[in-house]
Amino acid sequence: MATFNGERWIEAQIASILASEGVAVHVFVSDDLSTDRTVEIARAAGRARLTVLPPLRQGSAARNFFRLLRDVDWSGFDHVALSDQDDIWRADKLSRATARIRADGLDAYSSDITAFWPDGRRRYIRKSHKQRRLDHLFESGGPGNTFVLPRASADVLRKRLGMIRSGWYLGQVRLIADIAGARTVPVMEYVRDPRPTRLWVPLLHFRKCRRRLREALMLLLILLDAGIRRRS
């Protein structure tokens, strides 16, 4: 779990994770130097089943997740799951995911979600549409906050972190081989903040191109490789 100033929701999020049925869970938290009581609340909610990594400024949610993937020792676990700080997990989320991974031999798992707002509104969001041939090059296979990976897949992802440093570029690598989620039943509820939605505008990122040349070259190589494989 990557956290930053999440005191409003984090207690409920951690409680829902620790209430997971059919699995033994331990939560690892990387906090991006929150200025509120996020870490204090997390420690109290998780107790012996939660570990907070040493404080380290990351500057973004993507980098914070990278830090977790790089630094957490998951050698004693069978699966690795990613979590936001402001969701509610259903009690059967992890048991459904791990059962589906084992049954179908999947490299990774993702699911649909239910969005909800503080005013009580709810909306089912389907993310399990069938992927087209090259979708994996341009978008993630599903919501990152629903990803569950077997340890072997998590190890592969960790090895790739040295090449791909941006959260957006990470999504382009074909690790999520199949969207295997609950196609009619969401397994988690996603908090929607009532504040205005922030939009990602690609044109605004051109000015950062010089600082992201390595990532741009890596994406180009991935696209070329996909084209060569398709022709062969």
Task: Report the alpha-carbon distance of residue 82 to residue 85 in Å, rounded.
Answer: 10
Is the pLDDT reported for residue 42 higher than 90?
yes
Neighbours of 11 (CB within 10 A): 17
CA atoms of 111 and 173, how far apart (whole Å) = 18
Domain boundaries along the sequence of the chain: 2-198
Residue 113 dihedral angles phi and psi, to the nearest 5°: -140, 165
pLDDT at 68: 92
Report the distance separating Cα 29 and Cα 5, nearest Å: 13
Residue 6 pLDDT greater than 90, yes or no: yes
Instruction: Give the single-character DSSP code of 116.
Output: E
Q: How is residue 126 written in tokens?
A: 């389907």
Residue type, 232: S
Mean pLDDT over 147-162 rounds to 84
Structure tokens at 101: 């991974």
Kindly indicate the confidence band of residue 63, based on its pLDDT and cuts at 50, 70 and 90.
confident
Q: Which of 94, 89, 82, 106 is closest to 175 using CA atoms?
A: 106
- Identify the band that residue 219 occupies on the pLDDT scale cut at 50, 70 and 90: low
What does the pLDDT average to over 30-55? 95
Contact predicate 175/80, CB 8 Å: no
pLDDT of residue 26 exceeding 80: yes
Which residues of the chain form beta strands (DSSP E)? Answer: 2-3, 27-31, 50-52, 79-81, 87-89, 113-116, 122-125, 148-150, 188-191
- Which tops the pLDDT comparison, 148 or 174? 148
Residue 10 has pLDDT above 50, yes or no: yes
pLDDT exceeds cutoff 90 at 53: yes
2-198 has which fold? Spore Coat Polysaccharide Biosynthesis Protein SpsA; Chain A (3.90.550)
Average pLDDT, the chain: 75
pLDDT at position 191 is 47
Residue count (the chain): 232
- How many helices (DSSP H) and strands (DSSP E) are in the chain? 7, 9
Q: Are 68 and 85 in contact (CB under 8 A)?
A: no
Is the pLDDT at 28 greater than 90? The verdict is yes
Give strand pairing partners of 189. 88, 114
pLDDT value at residue 216: 61
Mean pLDDT computed over 194-200: 39
Whether residue 203 has pLDDT greater than 50? no
State the pLDDT confidence band at 228, using cuts at 50, 70 and 90. Answer: low
Mean of pLDDT values over 192-211: 43
Confidence band of 58 (pLDDT split at 50, 70, 90): confident
pLDDT-wise least confident of 11-15, 49-53, 87-91: 87-91
Beta-sheet pairing, 87-89 with 188-191: antiparallel
Least confident of 5-9, 25-29, 223-227: 223-227
pLDDT of residue 37: 96
Long-range contacts of residues 154-161, Cβ cutoff 8 Å, at least 24 apart: 154/69, 154/74, 154/79, 154/80, 157/69, 158/69, 158/70, 161/66, 161/69, 161/70
Q: What is the reported pLDDT for 181?
A: 36
124-146: pLDDT as tens digits: 777 776 766 666 566 666 777 88
